[in-house]
A and B are shown apart, each in its own frame.
Chain A
Amino acid sequence: MKLAEHAPDMDVVFAALAHPARRAILDRLSEGEVSVMELAEPFDMSQPAVSHHIGVLEKAGLIRRRIDGTRRPCRLSPDGVAAIDEWLAVLKTALSANYDRLDTLLAAPTSTAENPTP
């Protein structure tokens, strides 16, 4: 199985997820497939703005689009290696932050690990 070791992809995914509007779009898409127009409505954003965010999400592999006549509805990427990679990248970053903090705690002279509380 491919893993989330490829740093460039991870950067793209994190950059994509860093924008609140794009997280909101993902949240909306978790309910099912929708068109760009339908996405723009509740977010009070212009269609070009939504199209831009969708482009970023698509490049990051988080969503897919298909052609349906003149419509190009969006949906979350199907379950698969890409989706798992993204999830693992998120997990890796969260755990790295925690363990870096634990390093500091273990190195601290006041670490209570040597003097457990009564």
Chain B
Amino acid sequence: MNSLKLTTEGDRTVVVTRRFAAPPEQVYRAHLEPDLIQQWMLGPPGWTMPVCQCDARPGGALRYEWTKGDGQGFYLTGEFVALEPFSRIVHIERMHLPDPTPDNRIETTFQPDGEGTLMTVRMELPDEEARKGMLASGMEEGLEASYQRLEEVAKGG
């Protein structure tokens, strides 16, 4: 079962782990190649990512823009800090809602796990203002749809 695990370290760090059936090289590339990113990093149904810029080298910029097609949308900018193919990505990112949230340093590692990959994502827990901003602006747009999907999954299971 490839379910996602989410834990915290101390008061400020969120750790997400997830297994994938594909080898580390494929999972790593799916995080850096725009034509792949645009197929999965979409959030709830109905959202697309028309703009995906990903200059995958230390100091390189990234910019993701999401839209729901009815004028709603938000974007994320960031910079790469370190890249170790096909095992580790470190980047800084901030969401624009439209005011930027504080910079968040995110480390993503990809470890071989049998035939597949164990991915671990470490990020900083946003402060209260940033969480409120996300709940009130960008993320909540998808909550209803996400909830519906949860229900579908529950029914299907």
From B41, B43, B131, B140, A17 is in contact (CB under 8 Å) with: B140
* Residues A72-118 near B (CB distance < 8 A): 76, 79, 83-84, 86-88, 90-99, 101-107, 111-114, 116-117
The binding surface of chain A is classed by DSSP as: helix
- CB neighbours of B6 from chain A (8 A): 3-5, 88, 91-92, 95
Q: Which residues of A contact B (CB under 8 A)?
A: 1, 3-5, 14-15, 17-19, 23, 26-27, 30, 76, 79, 83-84, 86-88, 90-99, 101-107, 111-114, 116-117
How many B residues are at the interface, by size bracket? 35 or more
**How distant is the Cα of A26 from the Cα of B7 in the complex, in angstroms?**
26
CB distance from B110 to the nearest CB of A (A): 12
Q: Which residues of B contact A (CB under 8 A)?
A: 2-4, 6-8, 11, 14, 16, 18, 20-22, 25-27, 29-30, 33, 35-36, 39-44, 125-126, 128, 131-132, 134-136, 139-140, 142-144, 146-147, 149-150
